[in-house]
Structure 1
Amino acid sequence: MKRLPIHLMFGAATLCCIGVAGYYAVRLQHVVQANAEIAAIDTQKREQWSPSATNSNAPAVRLAQAVALARAGQHAEAGKLYYDLSRLAPSSETGRLALYDLANMYLREAAGDSAQGPVRSPPMLETAKARYRDLLRLEPGNWDARYNLERALRLAPEAQDTADDINDVKEQHNINVRGAAPEELP
Structure 2
Amino acid sequence: MRHLWGRVRPGLIATMPVLLLAAACASGLEAWRVARANGTIAALEAGTDAEVSPGAPPPVLAARVAFLAKRGRLDEAEPLLPGLEAGDDRADLARARYVLANARMRAAFGLLARGELDKAGPLVTLSRQDYRRALRERPDFWDAKFNLDVASRLIRDYPELNRTDGDELQSEPKKIWTDIPGQPRGGP
Give the letter aligned to residue 136 of structure 2: R
CA–CA distance in 1 between the matches of 2:144 and 2:14?
52
Residue 133 and residue 12 in structure 1: after superposition, are their counterparts in 2 closer, same or farther (change >3 A)? farther
CA contact (8 A) 2:52 2:64 kept: no
Letter in 1 for 2:25: G
Q: CA deviation at 1:35?
A: 1.8
More displaced 10-residue stretch of structure 1: 158-167 or 25-34: 158-167
Are 1:90 and 2:92 counterparts?
A: no
Which residue of 101, 104, 109 maps to 1:103? 101
Q: Distance in 2 between matches of 1:164 and 1:106?
A: 33
Provide structure 2 residue ranges, at least 5 long, that are not aligned to the other structure.
161-171, 178-183
Q: RMSD of the alignment, in Å? A: 4.0
Q: Deviations over 1:97-152 (max 9, x none)?
A: 2222111111121123999x996711100110111122223333333222211111
Structure number with higher relative contact order (C-alpha < 8 Å, ≥ 6 residues apart)? 2
d(CA) in 1 for partners of 2:158 and 2:45? 42
Count of residues in Structure 1 that have an aligned counterpart in Structure 2: 160
Kindly state the Cα deviation for residue 64 of structure 1 after the two structures are TM-superposed: 2.9
CA separation of 1:153/1:164 partners in 2, compared to 1, >3 Å: closer, same or farther? same
Identical aligned pairs, as a percentage?
Answer: 26
How far 1:90 sits from its partner (Å)? 1.5
Question: 1:132 and 1:146 mapped to 2: Cα distance?
Answer: 7
What amino acid is aligned across from residue 32 of structure 2 in structure 1? Q
Task: Specify the SS of the correspondent of 1:159.
Answer: coil
The corresponding residue for 1:157 is 156
Q: 1:54 aligns with which of 51, 55, 77?
A: 51
SS at match of 1:89: helix
| Larger displacement relative to structure 2 (12-21 or 35-44) | 12-21
Q: Does 1:131 align with 2:130?
A: yes
Q: Give runs of ≥4 in structure 1 deviating > 4 Å.
A: 8-21, 117-120
Q: If the length of structure 1 is used for normalisation, what is the TM-score?
A: 0.62
Gaps of 5+ in 1: 47-52, 168-172, 174-183
- Structure 1, 59-68 or 29-38: larger mean CA deviation: 59-68
8 Å contact from structure 2 (residues 98, 134) kept in 1: yes
1:44–1:154 CA distance, 2 compared to 1 (3 A)? closer
Q: For residues 15 and 111 of structure 2, what CA distance do their matches in structure 1 show? A: 64
Q: CA deviation at 1:55?
A: 5.1
CA–CA distance in structure 1, aligned partners of residues 131 and 86 of structure 2: 14
